[in-house]
A and B are shown apart, each in its own frame.
Chain A
Amino acid sequence: MERKYTILAVLLIILALGLVILPKKKEQKEIDPKALLSAVVEKSRYLSVDLVTHRIIENDPTLLLIDLRTADQFKLFALPGAVNIQPDSLLTATTLELMNQPGKDKVLFANSDLISEKAWLIATRSSVNRLYIMKGGMNEWFNTIIKEKPINSAASSSDLDLVSFRNAARQFFVGASETTNTPEKPKVKEKVQVIRKAPEASSGGGC
């Protein structure tokens, strides 16, 4: 190999080595206040329970569900693939490492939006990207997906599609036999009260 190329190769190795031995930056990155404000007012940071459910069912590899409820509540019921993180450990190195995974959509939720909103703000300030809130939390998820609602007879086709998706999702999460359909009542034989006609008075003769 020519000498000039050898020099360039050595230079590249030195530069790459420099990357490895440079001291790691210790200061915590914080988002610019203007950028934070713009992110706070942005509605796209909310994901509907239907969308989250759809992504769970599709087994979307880019989805990372972060359940902020208590450990006991998490043990009782958890969404498939969800990770339980307590709000007070949101800024630990392990949690930040988890939330800084590139290419993952981190979706926060608790029972309602209150804790998720606070967690979203703290994590966004710590420069966590692609962070979302499941709008309404687990309460909304349960009311929308698990609880069956009566279908309005005047529902549009898109509403019917949504209902049909929710029914399928309900079966996915709780099983086909566990739907909240009211079981049909066993048929009880109704007693038929026979009202007998009073015997007609015999005619007095023909025409």
Chain B
Amino acid sequence: MIGPIISSGIVSPAWDNIFAVIIGMIMGFALESSGFSSSRKIIGTFFGYDFVVVKVFFTAAIVASIGLLYLSYFGLVDYSQLYIQPTFLTSAIVGGIIMGIGFSMGGFCPGTSLAAIGVGRIDGMVFFGGMFIGVFLFSESFSLFEKMYYSGSQGPKMINEVFGISPELFTFFLVLAAVGMFFGAAWVQKKVKKVEY
């Protein structure tokens, strides 16, 4: 598990897989109860009739940011111990475009397709199968993409540092943007014809 509980020595790394299973189950439950196992609900974001995906992800981001910063402030979490995924700009852009196309065509992202399989949805199984084939083909032809994959390396980068502001101020702006988006989404949803699914 990547996080300060393990790296601080509070919990032994031997518990990694146990944590992974528990967190995975909680995540799956949260996804299913938010309606993320339905591709029609997810695709609603692109057609403007259901913004639950954006709302859930934004809520998760702002609650986690605020929580983490408060825990760090009160000395309960060592913020500097967090693992930050390195940025590879080119592959992030290319991967983001492919992911976006796959998301809008298939109605799932990798995690939600597994949640859909969990409740027995066939479209989720087909999506997962396609994803598996894609992963296999990519792995087998990795040498062709290797240069692009590692290009644009910028190391672990925090967005607040790019803007030259504190993490607290960035979180405040993020919350304002998220709340603005919540109201905007509610307004759009009212204007768009309801879809029954």
> Which A residues contact B (CB, under 8 angstroms)?
1, 5, 9, 12-13, 15-17, 19-20, 22, 25, 61-62, 100-104, 127, 129
Is A12 in contact with B80, judged by CB distance below 8 angstroms?
Answer: no
Is A1 in contact with B155, judged by CB distance below 8 angstroms?
Answer: no
Contact with A along B145-168 (1 / 0, CB 8 A): 000000001111110010000101
User: What are 30 A-B interface contacts by the 8 Å CB criterion?
Assistant: A1-B183, A9-B179, A12-B63, A12-B66, A12-B175, A12-B178, A13-B175, A15-B66, A15-B70, A15-B175, A16-B62, A16-B66, A16-B172, A16-B174, A17-B172, A19-B70, A19-B73, A19-B168, A19-B172, A22-B73, A22-B168, A25-B73, A102-B84, A102-B156, A102-B158, A103-B84, A103-B86, A103-B158, A104-B155, A127-B80
In the bound complex, CA of A2 to CA of B186 (Å): 10
Chain B interface residue count, CB cutoff 8 Å, equals: 30
Across the two chains, which residue of chain B brings its CB closest to A13? Answer: B175
B residues less than 8 Å from A101 (CB atoms)? 161
Nearest CB of B to A31, in Å: 10
Across the interface, A103 reaches (CB within 8 A) one of B63, B155, B166, B174, namely: B155
Is A103 in contact with B156, judged by CB distance below 8 angstroms?
Answer: yes
Across the two chains, which residue of chain A brings its CB closest to B85? Answer: A103
A residues less than 8 Å from B81 (CB atoms)? 129
Is B153 in contact with A16, judged by CB distance below 8 angstroms?
Answer: no
Across the two chains, which residue of chain B brings its CB closest to A63? Answer: B155
B residues less than 8 Å from A9 (CB atoms)? 179, 182
Across the two chains, which residue of chain B brings its CB closest to A22? Answer: B73
